């Protein structure tokens, strides 16, 4: 960054991300029911892709668009790397009451899917322990119910086309009923968080091709 005279201004990473951590790092204060998603510790390529999506108008959240609009890919990549390497404690799981049949349905959808409806198991892409897969698939635990519902709802309603290329997640969300979305969001928000994202080789070739090989393998790097 340069000021009006072209001189370099102080640009440590802590300075750079101050504008972000107002919303993204006060996990201990905000707690899980807040809508702000956690970004610390997420796969680097995933964070990078989302930053580009916000900047380039594929994902909408005005306060972030304003911050990101003049940032280069290089700059966004460094920010992504910074947040990806941050290790912050996770908040406690939410405690949302669920009926036994809801828990059964959530577990079935997440670990087995409904192949007849073209819905793969969520865990097949998001990892056995649902912590995501490096470098570009995010985890599904450690997120609030409100946030998960909003993301899946946005895809179902066709309002979000955020992926860089073929939007596999949007196709899957469109197969889910509103009631399935609500049940899955409750179940996920109730889970404790442990472990790390899995490595790319756990993904089947078929599922990789269903999304985008370049994105899932390289996280958007050229
Ligand atoms: C005013 C609060 C606010 C500020 C400031 C802010 N964010 Fe966000 N951020 C949000 C919200 C809310 C969302 C979810 C938006 C949505 O519905 O898609 C989000 C989403 C994200 C995501 C996607 C998370 C995911 O799991 O998909 C990333 C990455 C991110 N922000 C990074 C940043 C960075 C980097 C900055 C600083 C340059 C920043 N944010 C500044 C509130 C904020
Ligand atoms: C074929 C692989 C695949 C399957 C199966 C899959 N997902 Fe995804 N999911 C993705 C990818 C890739 C992304 C990241 C999209 C992007 O970059 O915007 C994603 C993102 C998400 C997000 C957004 C997370 C965040 O931090 O914003 C949610 C929520 C989600 N998936 C839920 C689910 C659920 C629930 C299921 C099972 C019904 C599922 N996914 C099955 C590939 C998959």
Question: What does the pLDDT look like over 54-99, one tens digit per residue?
Answer: 999 888 889 999 999 999 999 999 999 999 998 888 888 999 999 9
Residue in this structure with the two tokens 């970004």, named with its chain if needed: 39
Q: Which atom of ligand 1 is nearest to the CA of 160?
A: 18
Q: What pLDDT, on the 0 to 100 scale, is given for residue 161? A: 65
Comparison of pLDDT for 142 and 106, the residue scoring more: 106
Whether 26 shows a pLDDT value over 90: the answer reads no
CB under 8 Å to 120, separation ≥6 — which residues?
113, 172, 207, 210
Q: What pLDDT, on the 0 to 100 scale, is given for residue 13? A: 85
Query: In Å, how far from its chain's centre is CA 126?
Result: 10
Interatomic CA distance for residues 35 and 125, integer angstroms: 24
Q: Which atom of ligand 1 is nearest to the CA of 63?
A: 1
Interatomic CA distance for residues 88 and 221, integer angstroms: 26
Q: What pLDDT, on the 0 to 100 scale, is given for residue 157? A: 83
Q: How far is the CA of 166 from the centre of ligand 1 (A)?
A: 22
Q: Is the CB of 67 under 6 A from ligand 1?
A: yes
For Cα atoms 75, 197, 81, give the angle at the middle one, nearest 5 degrees: 15
Residue in 136, 137, 138, 152 with CA at minimum distance from that of residue 186? 152
Q: How far is the CA of 115 from the centre of ligand 2 (A)?
A: 16
Q: How far is the CA of 50 from the centre of ligand 1 (A)?
A: 9
Query: In Å, how far from its chain's centre is CA 27?
Result: 16
Q: Looking at ligand 1, which residue's alpha carbon is closest to its atom 15?
A: 61
Q: Looking at ligand 2, which residue's alpha carbon is closest to its atom 24?
A: 138
Q: How far is the CA of 97 from the centre of ligand 2 (A)?
A: 24
Whether 136 shows a pLDDT value over 50: the answer reads yes
CB under 8 Å to 162, separation ≥6 — which residues?
50, 53, 58, 59
Region 189-198: mean pLDDT is 93
Interatomic CA distance for residues 127 and 198, integer angstroms: 6
Give the tokens for residue 130.
């649902």
Q: Looking at ligand 2, which residue's alpha carbon is closest to its atom 10?
A: 169
Q: How far is the CA of 27 from the centre of ligand 1 (A)?
A: 13
Confidence of residue 104 (pLDDT cuts 50, 70, 90): very high
Residue in this structure with the two tokens 């799981």, named with its chain if needed: 93
């Amino acid at each position: 960054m340069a000021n009006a005279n072209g001189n370099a201004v102080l640009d440590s990473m802590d300075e750079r991300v101050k504008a972000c951590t107002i919303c993204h790092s006060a996990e201990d204060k905000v707690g899980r029911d807040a809508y702000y998603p956690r970004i610390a510790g997420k796969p680097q390529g995933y964070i990078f892709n989302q930053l580009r999506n916000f900047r380039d108008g594929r994902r909408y959240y005005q306060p972030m668009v304003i911050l990101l609009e003049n940032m280069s890919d290089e700059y966004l990549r460094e920010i992504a790397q910074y947040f990806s390497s941050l290790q912050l404690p996770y908040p406690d799981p939410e405690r949302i009451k669920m009926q036994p049949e809801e828990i059964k349905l959530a577990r079935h959808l997440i670990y087995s899917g409904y192949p007849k409806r073209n819905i793969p198991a969520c865990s097949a892409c998001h990892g056995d322990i649902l912590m995501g897969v490096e470098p570009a698939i995010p985890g599904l635990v450690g997120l609030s119910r409100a946030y998960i519902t909003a993301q899946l709802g946005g895809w179902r309603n066709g309002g979000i086309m955020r992926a860089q290329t073929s939007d596999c997640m949007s196709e899957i969300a469109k197969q889910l009923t509103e009631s399935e979305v609500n049940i899955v969001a409750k179940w996920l928000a109730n889970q404790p968080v442990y472990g790390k994202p899995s490595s790319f080789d756990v993904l089947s070739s078929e599922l990789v091709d269903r999304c985008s090989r370049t994105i899932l393998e390289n996280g958007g790097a050229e």
